[in-house]
Structure 1
Amino acid sequence: MTSHADLGFDIDIRDTDAVADRRDELVAAVRDHAGQIAYQLARLQGGDYGRQALSTPGGEWTVKHEAGELEFLLFSPTSGSDVYVVSTKQPPDPGALATALADYPNVVAAWNDHVASLSGVLDDVSADFPEPDSTDGLVAERDRVLDAIRDACSVMAGEIYRYEGDEYGTFTSRVDGDRWELKWDEGTVSYLRVGGTGGCYLLSQYEAPSALDVREYAEPFRGFVDAYNEFVADAESDLAAVDL
């Protein structure tokens, strides 16, 4: 059997376990320490995700958090390649880690300076705000008009249902250039829409329209009712002409 010596490789290969173990210890210590910065950053920014860049004599550091937990700590030296001191992926190269850790105290100082620069920034901000006006009266007026529109549409839907005999359907008419559509379902109002698809729903199974929309369409609604009445009058006239 050929030995290493026979091949001219009479050199012992050193074990890297000690270096890797020490690297992992240092990364864990930095993770715990920088995790405090990430937590404070999350509280300061108030979001679930965030990052902060901090400049030092040795380069720029980026702290990124997710829900207050440190996601990564990136060091971008003034010369050389970026190194993720802490990340969710592979650990850093020991040499790059040594370079970064030599500058790490500076980033902690930069963070402290950043926090200090914000001290007192809200001292002169008053929390004495004016009282917001209530919309109770406006909502009550909107609902009053909508209730009247719904009552009229309920009559129309019930009568058309009786006339047409179908379980559901629509009655449409154009008023002042706008397309009005009343949809019924077994004689009850499903919706009243103005303006076609994507238009304004004055009546629906969902939220109520704005008071401004109600104001805009309340008067034209009279024209829609007139169109329904004309439809009924024409239908009665057609039926009256039938001779049995």
Structure 2
Amino acid sequence: MTSSLDSEIVGTEAAAERRDEVVAAVTEHAGRIARELARLQGGDYGQADFETDAGTWTLKYEAGDVQYLRFAGRGADVYVVSTQQPPEPDALATAMADYDAFVAAFNEHVCSLAGVLDDVGSDFPAVESVDALVAERERILGQMREATDAMARQLQRYEGGDYGTFATRVTDGGDAAGSSRSRSTSGSRWELKWEDGRTSYLRVGGEGGIYLLSQYQPPSARDLRAHAPDFPGFVAAFNEEIAAESDSLEDVSL
């Protein structure tokens, strides 16, 4: 009696080799499609679906290389090209029977775009320059910073530290509404933060307010227009604060 263990086993080398040959050829050919698709879509990575009578082909690409090519049809769902593992030979054969239709669908998609931009004009209106607006904004901000830097130097001398804050409230129209050392709650809060005798920022409106001066970006022209008229009131409040403190020291006798 012959044991089944003595039965000859059919090798898979030939089928695997042919499968690898087909996958390599498809990878090279689909790579050309991927590069054309990347040029068309204007990016280094993406994916697109193409419908055929037999199913849907999905091509995903990155940096001009195919990430995967998938065929989903009736009773078939196979990754013809993948970075994971090669397809089964039977599933590959099913997909490859429709590969020409996939290429035809891609070509049809490209041809459908021919002339789509022919009527798009390239004569555009002139762009208005912001040179004058930016120059005026910089002029106003420069004057503000010159004043706040002078205030910062005085505060450093007066308070004797390396950094600090001066805050006051200013009503619309530029009238001082009380310094940070008073108890007035009317008007908008103006806050000057300084360090080493220089302006760190000038903010209006407290937390979440508008930064007129900062180390980052300048305010919008509309914000600057809204608050610049009140800046003299802020400076006046500072001067009143310093004058009041000076008067209090004059009353001290030694």
Pairwise TM-score range, normalised by the shorter structure: over 0.9
Q: Which residue of 1 aligns with 2:213?
A: 203
Tell me by how many angstroms 1:48 deviates: 2.1
For structure 2, list consecutive stretches of 5 or more residues without a partner in the other structure. Answer: 172-186
| Residue in 1 that maps onto 2:195 | 185
Is 1:212 the counterpart of 2:222? The answer is: yes
Paired residues of 2:76 and 2:94 also in contact (CA < 8 A): no
Q: Cα deviations across residues 172-220 of structure 1 (Å, max 9, x unaligned)?
A: 1233443322111111112212233443221122222222221122112
Residue 70 of structure 2 corresponds to 74
**Identity within the alignment, %:** 58
8 Å Cα contact 1:43/1:68 also seen in 2: no
The answer to whether the aligner puts 1:51 opposite 2:47 as a matched pair is yes
SS in 2 for 1:19: helix
Question: 1:216-227 residue pairs with structure 2 within 5 A?
Answer: 216-227=226-237
Q: Aligned match of 2:115 in 117, 120, 124?
A: 120
- CA displacement at 1:81 relative to structure 2: 4.0
Distance 2:89 2:146 in 1: 78
Q: What secondary structure does 1:82 align onto? A: strand
Instruction: Please say which of residues 199-208 and 109-118 is displaced more in the overlay.
Output: 199-208
2:149–2:198 CA contact under 8 A, matched in 1: yes
- How far residue 139 of structure 1 moved from its aligned partner, in angstroms, is 0.4
Partner of 1:163: 158
Separation in structure 2 between the aligned mates of residue 68 and residue 62 of structure 1, nearest angstrom: 15
Counterpart amino acid of residue 16 in structure 1: T
Q: Counterpart of 2:127 in structure 1: which amino acid?
A: P
1:40 aligns with 2:36: yes
Of stretches 88-97 and 208-217 in structure 1, the one that deviates more from structure 2 is: 208-217
Structure 2: how far apart are the matches of 1:11 and 1:69?
45
Number of positions where the alignment pairs a residue of Structure 1 with one of Structure 2: 239
Equivalent position SS for 1:9: helix
Q: Which runs of 5+ in 1 are unaligned?
A: none
Residues 218 and 10 of structure 1: CA distance in aligned 2, closer, same or farther (over 3 Å):
same
Shift of 1:162: 0.8
- For normalisation by structure 1, the TM-score amounts to 0.92
1:108-130 deviation per Cα after TM superposition (whole angstroms, max 9, x unaligned): 00000000110000000001111
Equivalent-residue separation in structure 1 for 2:98 and 2:25 (angstroms): 15
**TM value normalised by structure 2:** 0.89
Cα separation, partners in 2 of 1:237 and 1:103, compared to 1, 3 Å: same
Whether 1:25 aligns to 2:35 is: no
CA distance in 2, matches of 1:222, 1:81: 78
C-alpha root-mean-square deviation of aligned residues, in Å?
Answer: 1.6
TM alignment of 1:75-90, pairs within 5 A? 75-77=71-73, 79-90=74-85
Distance 2:146 2:12 in 1: 84
2:59 to 54, 60, 63: 63
AA of the residue aligned to 1:219: P
Q: Distance in 1 between matches of 2:219 and 2:143?
A: 14
